[in-house]
Structure 1
Amino acid sequence: MGWRRDGFESHVGGVGVLLADGSEPGPVYFDLGSGSHFHESRDWWVYDGTFSRATATTMRGSCACGWRGERTFPIDWQRVDPDDLATYDVSGPELEWEAHMDEVATRAVPLPEDVAGLLRRLRERLDELVDDAPLPVLKAAGELESVVTFFGPLATRILTRHEEFSLTRAAELLGMTENAAESRLRHYEFMDL
């Protein structure tokens, strides 16, 4: 769940909350019965003060990369319908996250237009074929995997051997969180072994 933007999948956005003292609460744990595992949640609506939970007073935009919105929006718990949470207005935090994503997209390296166009046309064509001709789609997927298997490791080696390589900078230019960028680089690094 959460807000997502195509091309920036690791930047999952959502509603973050703050307590009256301005602090961000930790996760809420739920005991679902016997066993040693407890479910945890950071969903905004679990901080409603019931069952001795912390009570959030304001919400703001939040992102998996660690970004937090500067603007806060009051939570009126009297207007929150626990049976239909989607009716509560969280557009303020979402718009803040969208602005954050605009900044992420601005800093990211753009694909060359011809490559972006090829990928867009390929996606559209495979979408047209998949229902009636799944075997050619599977064959195309295999061809794409061979392209990735060759170029992913090659690009990773060239990038990481560069003396000015920085994971933080690579993540920014890829439009990813550092964890996602590190995971992708490691995946490609060991792909051809």
Structure 2
Amino acid sequence: MAVWVSDEFEEFEDRHQGFAGAVLADGSEPAPVYLDAGSGSHMSSMREWWAYDGTLGRPRAPHLRAACSCGWRGEHLYTIDWSTAEDDPESVDTSAARTEFEGHVRDLEARSLPLPAAMTDLVERLDEQLHDLAADSPLAALKAVAALERITLRVARHAAADAHASADGDELSWDTVARTFGTDHDHARARLMHYQLRP
């Protein structure tokens, strides 16, 4: 069962991965389920509804709801029909929960710093032209992408350094930085450092 990632915040998916989370009968969320991959000390965890089916000592969740890795939770509960879900988890319709998550992402986008209209138009046209070029001449498209990567890396370093200095100097609020990235202050700082330290 896949998580949902918005195009807008795809680069920051550690903060905005959506999923259909489990909700217990008392309205609480169960503890994460840890999965043993069989090698190494790292064990991945999950909170998706289908992992809480009452087996292996786990509780059975009667409901699911939209959730995001940033901590946001949807308003509505959706009943899980275990009579069919046990045999076919894919039969459970999570589309309404996904729609709620997409609304959460749209709200983040609406509160973020908007791009100037001219830049938005330029990015959209560049996207379209690169796709067309990739269809006609894949190598030429890759050469263009390499050039863009050099440009964006150089600009990102300078812009991140200036934004960091402005935020530390109170010329730019960390709230604004966080909203731009659709995250919190700590992750916003980490994102700026990521751009500044990229090789």
Secondary structure of the 2:23 match is strand
Q: Which residue of 2 aligns with 1:105?
A: 109
- Work out the CA distance in 2 between the residues paired with 1:70 and 1:34: 38
**Residue 189 (1) aligns with residue 196 (2):** yes
Q: Which residue of 2 aligns with 1:4?
A: 5
> Using a 3 Å threshold, how does the CA distance of structure 1 residues 25 and 3 change in structure 2: closer, same or farther?
same
Secondary structure of the 1:115 match is helix
> Using a 3 Å threshold, how does the CA distance of structure 1 residues 178 and 68 change in structure 2: closer, same or farther?
farther
The one of 172, 179, 191 aligned to 2:179: 172
Q: Which residue of 2 aligns with 1:138?
A: 142
Q: In angstroms, what is the RMSD of aligned CA positions?
A: 2.4
- Work out the CA distance in 2 between the residues paired with 1:32 and 1:6: 29
Calculate percent identity across the aligned residue pairs: 40
- Work out the CA distance in 2 between the residues paired with 1:82 and 1:169: 47
Kept in 2: contact 1:81–1:87 (CA 8 A) = no
Secondary structure of the 2:160 match is helix
Shift of 1:168: 4.6
Q: Which residue of 2 aligns with 1:16?
A: 21
Q: Which residue of 1 aligns with 2:78?
A: 73
Shift of 1:183: 4.0
Kept in 1: contact 2:113–2:176 (CA 8 A) = no
> Using a 3 Å threshold, how does the CA distance of structure 1 residues 179 and 78 change in structure 2: closer, same or farther?
farther
- Work out the CA distance in 2 between the residues paired with 1:140 and 1:54: 52
* Residue-by-residue CA offset, 1:8-38 (whole Å, 9 max, x unaligned): 2232211111112222112223446576554
Which ranges in structure 2 are unaligned for 5 or more consecutive residues?
none
TM-score (norm 1): 0.84
Kept in 2: contact 1:13–1:62 (CA 8 A) = yes
Secondary structure of the 2:67 match is strand
**Corresponding letter in the other structure for 1:100:** H
The one of 145, 151, 161 aligned to 1:147: 151
Q: Which residue of 2 aligns with 1:25?
A: 30
Deviation beyond 6 Å, 4+ runs, structure 1:
none
> What does residue range 80-95 of structure 1 map to in structure 2 within 5 Å?
80-83=85-88, 85-95=89-99
Secondary structure of the 2:5 match is coil
**Residue 49 (1) aligns with residue 54 (2):** yes
Shift of 1:67: 0.5
Kept in 2: contact 1:58–1:75 (CA 8 A) = yes
**Residue 59 (1) aligns with residue 70 (2):** no
Secondary structure of the 1:125 match is helix
**Larger relative contact order (Cα-Cα within 8 Å, sequence gap ≥ 6):** 1
Which ranges in structure 1 are unaligned for 5 or more consecutive residues?
none
TM-score (norm 2): 0.82
